[in-house]
Structure 1
């Protein structure tokens, strides 16, 4: 477009619409480039200036900086806004890419996915219907098909991208509830609501399973009482013998078992439940078999460790978190079902959005399979990643992570100052500082102190958890750049803080 004409258009429209230069459109390309360049500079500064996982600032200290900010008073320039955000956020952001961040299930992310984020945010497609996304719909469907094939499902399978593992698990429990009610009780919950028998529904999980299953039961009107926890064995995997005993007991008590959830990669221990055994029990008692592989889906990427997830192909539904083990930015998760017909349990048609005749005309509307309506085009991040890095490349990252976790386990096991609770199928290790000469000290307090000091100083970050009422520290290794030397350094720092506590007390 001619520059003079463009300037005239902008001038005319600005008289009607102030701040028109902020709108994403063809007449504001220069403004867009300026904003993106400033954002890029900010990200590069974050990488260059970050030398430890966390600044160590306390909530009280940081909150003070927000007290005099008036959101009704714009800063006007990108320079001012980025400088403000640096003070409030960027310089204190937790650096998941740092090799000494080994706390929660937060992975470093890959650059192809970041490139895709720019397209996703700028073009802003909504993946609920074809007429809002076009090729975006087909890209998402192709990635769901790829994931289904990796799981071992056939061409009857289907799925949808979700916001995260909690939403995927909720969808699994929703389909489990409605499928059982319709097939075995001839009651349509979607149309008629919960039946008088719903309070007797029971869902079985290990006592190391993710808390989202309990939240799902509550949201679905079954109550947390519907969730039956099965004790794990010494390796913190569901005990399948106790599972079958529990199913029988619930039946004897007049309750109705409807589903069992196997965890492929527990949050605390990174271990995989015995899925082949669990699948057999599910089939025997007509239970919906859901696999929460939010963490362990990474095993699908590697030939070396793929056998650890055997049995997932027998599931009715699977949770996959790409933003945990596929190195994707939040959010990027998937919910996959063995048979696409199950999505009929949640499909609703709206004349203004996804009328039923679209099905007849083979117009693909992803909202038919989702409990969300508007959805970001998060699938594009995984598309970029697979097309540039590939499954083999990602698998190499995972193999390196698992190898480092094994080395870390040996290190902790051979150090008399530590008590290691588990060996991991993946990369999560639970342990505590437990120096032999000082066992008269309260180990819960010592390890709580150690964790707090690590966050206060920010040089290395670990997580914490409780096992049988006792407080433990936890490594969650999800960074291919983290080496055993980094782990040794973190262990040394942990010892230092442990010794500090003993000296003071």
Structure 2
């Protein structure tokens, strides 16, 4: 067995096998990066037919296994670095992030206890301290790296729930949920991320616990409607457990009025969680940092680094303003975070996380910040926002394109607009444009809805993309729309 596929270790045999496997994989990636197509264009049915697993009793060996992965996975992967790949909040990654992955994977540190990840634990804690300072939180290290926005939002809502019950003298951790749960509500905007509903269901309170607040013409939470919803909840004998504000909605990139929301919440001692999974990138911005004014007033914050921080998936963080709330989820296990360790000042991060075994994803952000520096990081973040404004202006000047909403972050909502056609036919045509471009392998454009209008979406995260690249894409949209219309 050791001759075929040795475990990574310090033996000469293992090191040689590691170098060979990494070199083979690296060369395959280099060739893949050079291919001109965004996607090879295979359908779901074609991929199901093509991909077969071959688990033999003797094994294929490293080289053959890598060759098969290249053939059946890599060659048919979407090129997220391609200038025409703009459908989702799915970023190309920094080269330094790829290097970090090599170190993370080879060392295989687990972040649940210090004796499994000594230097990694300290680096993550110091990075959390730095992130808190960027937000404007008090000094401290209350926070943790997560798998992404959904998990961070779950932590914010869970601690909000437990703090809500704790104020009534009840411990959810010890005794579970109690009382008339149908009267407990969470408020968020109509354009908040679906993980709010998903997480409330997971916590046993259900979709019914989520009250949606109206939004304005730019998809931002309407503070007047928020005040009205709070008054209605009180009149109905309901209790608001939390308000979830969004800093960067998935489609429009809208940032809710954070300071105004926090002021309303403070009047009734309501927990405010801000989902800044996308907009949190503006913490490093030189031009647009003021968009996040009021973020420091939130009780907890979600950040994602595998969006406009350009880190490889997965990499996110949860920040908690007041460290004492971590006591609401604290659990001690003698084999991970014993009393003895705490008395000796040993930091075991499992106390701060929903996960036990956890990757050292913080290394990617740390290396990114050190490699680029704050100024270059700011430039590549600001590039997307500025480019979106330029693209919007160009779209507004095109006779066959219609700008659906002025951009706020790095996304542009627009649609192909034929001379004739009712609402339903125009909607279907735009859906078909998106499908046809992906099927051809030439482009990946998002299809979504804004205020009931089916539209196309460009998410301009790639800092190597310029206005001319986007003009090529928009020309493809027009050409495709005309072809479908004529057909």
Q: TM-score, normalised by structure 2?
A: 0.97
Contact 2:242 2:270 in 1 (8 A): yes
1:155 alignment counterpart: 139
1:106 alignment counterpart: 90
How far does residue 18 in structure 1 lie from its aligned partner after superposition? 4.4
Structure 1 segment 106-255 matched on structure 2, within 5 A: 106-156=90-140, 158-183=142-167, 185-255=168-238
1:455 corresponds to which of 396, 418, 438 = 438
Alignment partners' CA distance in 2, 1:63 and 1:302: 43
Relative to structure 1, the CA distance from residue 117 to residue 74 in structure 2 (aligned partners, 3 Å threshold; closer, same or farther) is farther
Alignment partners' CA distance in 1, 2:363 and 2:26: 20
How far does residue 445 in structure 1 lie from its aligned partner after superposition? 1.2
2:279 alignment counterpart: 296
1:62 corresponds to which of 35, 47, 52 = 47
How far does residue 421 in structure 1 lie from its aligned partner after superposition? 1.7
Q: Deviations over 1:31-86 (max 9, x none)?
A: 1111111111111111112x13211110111111224x332356534332232122
SS of 1:72's partner is coil
Contact 2:407 2:413 in 1 (8 A): no
Structure 1 residue 369 corresponds to structure 2 residue 369: no
Alignment partners' CA distance in 1, 2:407 and 2:126: 32
1:32 corresponds to which of 18, 39, 42 = 18
Question: Which moved further from structure 2: 489-498 or 352-361?
Answer: 352-361
Alignment partners' CA distance in 2, 1:195 and 1:75: 54
Alignment partners' CA distance in 2, 1:404 and 1:396: 12
Q: Deviations over 1:472-492 (max 9, x none)?
A: 111111001111111111111
Contact 1:416 1:435 in 2 (8 A): no
1:418 alignment counterpart: 401
Alignment partners' CA distance in 1, 2:319 and 2:181: 25
Question: Which moved further from structure 2: 436-445 or 283-292?
Answer: 436-445
Structure 1 unaligned regions, length at least 5: 1-16
1:346 alignment counterpart: 329
Relative to structure 1, the CA distance from residue 259 to residue 34 in structure 2 (aligned partners, 3 Å threshold; closer, same or farther) is same
Structure 1 residue 306 corresponds to structure 2 residue 289: yes
Q: Which 4+ runs in 1 deviate beyond 6 A? A: none
SS of 1:330's partner is coil
Contact 2:4 2:61 in 1 (8 A): no
Alignment partners' CA distance in 2, 1:220 and 1:352: 27
SS of 1:173's partner is helix
Relative to structure 1, the CA distance from residue 426 to residue 382 in structure 2 (aligned partners, 3 Å threshold; closer, same or farther) is same
How far does residue 115 in structure 1 lie from its aligned partner after superposition? 0.8
Alignment partners' CA distance in 1, 2:34 and 2:449: 36
Alignment partners' CA distance in 2, 1:322 and 1:467: 26
2:449 alignment counterpart: 466
Aligned length: 485
Alignment partners' CA distance in 2, 1:488 and 1:112: 30
Alignment partners' CA distance in 2, 1:395 and 1:52: 30
Question: Which moved further from structure 2: 359-368 or 192-201?
Answer: 192-201
Contact 1:129 1:353 in 2 (8 A): yes
How far does residue 342 in structure 1 lie from its aligned partner after superposition? 1.1
Alignment partners' CA distance in 1, 2:96 and 2:71: 28
Q: Deviations over 1:148-186 (max 9, x none)?
A: 100011114510000010000000000000001101x11
Alignment partners' CA distance in 2, 1:422 and 1:128: 44
Alignment partners' CA distance in 2, 1:82 and 1:369: 37
Relative to structure 1, the CA distance from residue 37 to residue 78 in structure 2 (aligned partners, 3 Å threshold; closer, same or farther) is same
Contact 2:145 2:315 in 1 (8 A): yes
Structure 1 segment 315-326 matched on structure 2, within 5 A: 315-326=298-309
2:388 alignment counterpart: 405
SS of 1:102's partner is coil
Contact 1:157 1:339 in 2 (8 A): no
Alignment partners' CA distance in 2, 1:168 and 1:392: 27
Alignment partners' CA distance in 1, 2:5 and 2:178: 56
SS of 2:398's partner is coil
Q: Deviations over 1:431-465 (max 9, x none)?
A: 21112345587111101110110111111111111
SS of 1:432's partner is strand
Structure 2 unaligned regions, length at least 5: none
Contact 2:110 2:357 in 1 (8 A): yes
Contact 1:258 1:286 in 2 (8 A): no
